[in-house]
Amino acid sequence: MRIPVPPVPSKLIDVEVSDTTRRGALLAVLAPLLEDQEDGTAAEPLEIEGVRASGKAGDVQDVPGSRTRWLVGIGSGEPKNYRTAGAALVRAANAHFAAEAEAGEKPSRAVQVALPEEITADGVAELATGLLLGGYKFTVTADAPKASTRTVRLLTAYERAVPAYSEAVGRARILAESAALARDLANAPSNVKDPDWLATVAERVALTVPGLQATIRDENWLTEQGFGGVLAVGGGSASPPRLIELDYKPRGATKHLLFVGKGITFDTGGLSIKPADGMHMMRTDMAGGGAVIAAMRAIAALGLPVRVTALVPTAENHVSGSSYRPGDIVRHYGGKTAEIGNTDAEGRLVLADALVYGIKKFKPDAVIDVATLTGAMKVSLGLRIGGLFATDDELADRVRDAGERVGEAWWRMPLTEDYTDSIRGELGDVRQAVSGPGGIMAALFLREFVDGLPWAHLDIAGPARADRNYDDVVPGASGFAARTLVELAASYT
């Protein structure tokens, strides 16, 4: 019997813009980090009922008994500071409403935020993003959900600003929903989330937005077409693999992007089995595929005038008598063969099949793959920066710039040619897992399957998961890369 999970996609709170206050809603005031005056005298910080705001981005001061319930620091007032402030505020509000409910009171569950005069539409969008995502929670429990924020009203003193701010909030909501969906998919437990479940959810999501088409390929089709990498990885599981195809084809589009996301719904490591510590987090090993599915939903919802096709090869990497083995030779879609060195390097095998298939069938202008691919990237870049490998400088710049606009950091890594000979095979064409710098070797392997097209490989093994709150991210799956992909697509319009 399957364990029920919360509805996917998760429902986010309502954020609205108005020039009138909402009765009964608690008020939050945003406070900047002040600098000393030109004459050297100290700037006076905002103070209400004896509570002084620090102004530090994300610092929330509670003001009991006052019409203003919270003072929220916005730092220097840069857009990214507003995202941090919004996330911190919604967490404080959720804690307040939950405490009121536990005390037997009936919380209003509504907050209003007084916007500063100098805020821009970008700042409003970032504030909304923090509010929408900062209180995200995915739990599978018999307990009733705690009281939390339902609505946030952003108050502006200027009626003429309402339409522009509302438009900014609307776009921010679509991007936030993409991040939340990516989190949902990665957080779902793997006794529910097998390849068929992921494919079914992707198919259902496609039905919610105009112009997005889903096609699901089963194990019989994969066998007929020769997807040797996907079939090898999925061969040890009782749950057969799938290939998810999502296609968004607006009229008049002149550019065509191909997104490929790793969809390993659980990864034991196969016969090269992982240590028990931390294996439970391998339910998130399809975070790249989840980001791609979520990005496609947002791209279609925004109506971007660029064609985007997405492929998510999805499988479980399990241990059984039918598992693939180190020393096997796998024939990928298109005919190229790979020598298996480590069954825990399974992600690159499923991506290789999808890359060749997608390039041959759809003939895109550029290709971007996303995967929790190598632990080496966590060592190299930590848990908040994604690794970016690219064969094309313009594409690399587009990815980096897109990430900067949505608050996702990318660091370009080298495709070091000195290591290329190391992946040449002895029995097969290429070797799947060889010694050397892990992230680079994986990228070089994948490059063998992109046919010289402009290509970017995004390794999100570090930032795809979080162990604590930061900015709009909460513990668990972060949804990292989904918003970058949306902004990347938008950069071609």
Distance, in Å, from the CA atom of 471 to the CA atom of 204, rounded to the nearest integer, reads: 30
d(CA 49, CA 470): 29
Angle at 169 between CA 151 and CA 82, to 5 degrees: 85
Q: Residue 162 belongs to what H/E stretch? A: helix 162-187
Is 398 annotated in the active site?
Answer: no
The single-letter DSSP state of residue 283 is G
Pairing status of strand 455-459 against strand 256-261: unpaired
Minimal CA–CA distance to 88: which of 122, 111, 107?
Answer: 111
Phi and psi angles of residue 271, each rounded to the nearest 5 degrees, phi first: -65, -25
Amino acid present at 138: F
Helices (H), 382-437: 393-406
Q: For residue 379, count other CB atoms closer than 10 A to its CB.
A: 13
d(C-alpha 246, C-alpha 9), whole Å = 17
Question: Which of the following is catalytic: 274, 384, 405, 412?
Answer: 274
- Contact 138/184 with Cβ under 8 angstroms? yes
Q: Are 481 and 386 in contact (CB under 8 A)?
A: yes
Q: Which residue of the set 69, 348, 447, 465 is catalytic?
A: 348
8 Å CB contact between 383 and 470 = no
Q: What 8-state DSSP symbol labels residue 64?
A: T
Q: Which two tokens stand for residue 232?
A: 């090898």
H or E stretch covering 323: none
Torsion of CA 486, 92, 186, 398, to 10 degrees: 20
Cα–Cα distance measured from residue 430 to residue 328, given in angstroms and rounded to the nearest whole number: 12
- According to DSSP, the β-strands at 47-48 and 26-31 are unpaired
Tokens of 470: 């930061």
Phi, psi of 273 (to 5 degrees): -65, 145
The CA distance from 323 to 146, in Å, is 43
Closest to 482 (Cα-Cα) out of 127, 171, 181: 181
Cα separation, 112 vs 137, in Å, equals: 22
**484 vs 101: CA distance, rounded Å:** 38
Is 193 in the active site?
no
Give me 293's structure tokens.
């599915």
Query: Does residue 316 sit in helix, strand or coil?
Result: strand
Residue 45 in contact with residue 26, Cβ under 8 Å? no
Structure tokens at 272: 């090269």
The residues carrying an active-site annotation are: 274, 348
